[in-house]
Amino acid sequence: MKIVLPDKINMSDDYKNKIRELGADVFDDLPDNDELKKRIHDAEIITASYVDITSDVIDAAPNLKYIIVPAVGYEWVDTTYAASKGITTLNCPTFNSQAVAEHAMSLLMAVNRNLVQGSDTLRSGKWSQDFTGYELSDKKLGLIGYGNIGTRIEKIASALGMRVHYVNSKSTSDEIDALLRDSDFVVICAPLNDGTRNLVDERRLNLLKHTAILVNVGRGAVVDQSALAELLRVNRIRGAGLDVFDGEPLTGVPSDTIVELARLPNVIATPHIAYNTEEINDKQGAEILANLQSCIENTPINVVVRAIAS
Return the number of other C-beta atoms located less than 10 Å from residue 242's C-beta.
27
Q: Which residues contact 231 (CB under 8 A, 6 or more apart)?
A: 205, 206, 208, 237
- CA distance to 26, 66, 82, 236, per residue, from 63 (Å): 18, 10, 12, 53
Biggest CA pair distance of the chain:
70
Residue 180 φ/ψ, nearest 5 degrees: -65, -35
Q: Can you give 18-48 as a three-state secondary structure string?
A: HHHCCCCEECCCCCCHHHHHHHHCCCCEEEC
Helix, strand, coil percentages, rounded to 5, for the chain = 35, 15, 50
Give CA 176 to chain center in angstroms. Answer: 20
Active site positions, annotated? 219, 248, 272
Q: Give buried/exposed letters for 124-143 (b at 16+ CB in 10 A, else e).
A: eeeeeeeeebeebeebbbbb
Helices (H), 86-236: 97-112, 115-123, 148-159, 173-182, 202-205, 225-233
Helices (H), the chain: 13-20, 33-40, 55-59, 79-84, 97-112, 115-123, 148-159, 173-182, 202-205, 225-233, 256-262, 280-296
Between strands 267-269 and 239-242, the pairing is parallel
